[in-house]
Structure 1
Amino acid sequence: MEYLLPSVPSGVSRARELIRTDLTDWGLAHVVDDCLLIVSELVTNAVRYGGSAYALRLEKREGQVYGEVFDPGEGMPRLRPADMDAISGRGLQIVGAIADDWGVTATDNGKVVWFAVTP
């Protein structure tokens, strides 16, 4: 499934609703919580840094749940050490801790941050 969503704070909750519905429909309710947390972090980054809209894709691929968030923003996200006093900056650390694999791919008009979770 692929969705184009506006880059507004309410888009984060809409993305979670869509992911929950898709995974439940696919009989993968046991990975909903992990995927919701990953998608929340990636979509929040897209809303904060990515431009006016973002695309969210979720599919079953080779025995895994594969997801990606595309946004047209210029900056590339990077994993960084968390400042214990900071109120943000841990999103990619969370993604890395939960996903079986993840990464960032530059495109001609933005970037794709992707993840894979094995059910």
Structure 2
Amino acid sequence: MGVVIAGIWWKLPASSTAAALARRYARQQLGEWGLDGKADDVLLVVSELVANAARASTADLSDPAHLALRLSRQATRITIEVWDGSPGRPLVTHARNDAENGRGLHIVDVLSLTWGTRWPAEGGKIVWSEVRLD
């Protein structure tokens, strides 16, 4: 299975800037791990999961909505976890050929060894993906 080298949650605003901020963080983390050459698939999965989480989150004016990202490195894979406050199950949609949206979870499915959703006791949900390094 391997040893987790890192696993710190990074808080993000649930906004249209979340995916770009998450990609920047992930790129920096992959660079620190010496995995610059493996970044494309990880960055794409991060983008899709964070964008979905930002859309799923609901804003509360007294406590702005947020989400969180965690990357963990094992010997042969990167685990990407994205938390948001919505308990709703992510939906895989079937986008038309000319649609601009609706392919995110299909992309995650293709690039991942496995992926899924879990519901922590603290609330919300975590959508996770494992991306192969080799």
What TM-score, normalized by structure 1, do the two folds share? 0.91
> Which of 92, 95, 105 pairs up with 2:118?
105
Give the 3 Å change call, closer, same or farther, for CA 80–14 of structure 1 in structure 2.
same
| Structure with the largest fraction of strand | 1
| 1:68 pairs with 2:81 | yes
Name 1:78's counterpart in structure 2: 91
Whether the aligned pair in 1 keeps the contact of 2:87 and 2:119 (CA below 8 Å) is no
| 1:40 pairs with 2:47 | yes
Whether the aligned pair in 2 keeps the contact of 1:50 and 1:74 (CA below 8 Å) is no
Name 1:13's counterpart in structure 2: 20
Structure 1 spans left out of the alignment, 5+ residues: none
Whether the aligned pair in 2 keeps the contact of 1:7 and 1:46 (CA below 8 Å) is yes
AA matched with 2:131 = V
Deviation at 1:46, TM superposition (A): 0.9
1-structure distance, mates of 2:110, 2:33: 24
Identical-pair percentage: 39
| 1:118 pairs with 2:128 | no
User: Tell me, what secondary structure is at the counterpart of 1:80?
Assistant: coil
| Structure with the largest fraction of helix | 1
Deviation at 1:62, TM superposition (A): 4.6
| 1:56 pairs with 2:63 | no
2-structure distance, mates of 1:11, 1:34: 18
Structure 2 spans left out of the alignment, 5+ residues: 1-7, 59-64
Deviation at 1:11, TM superposition (A): 1.8
Structure 1 stretches of 4+ moved >6 Å: none
1-structure distance, mates of 2:20, 2:81: 16
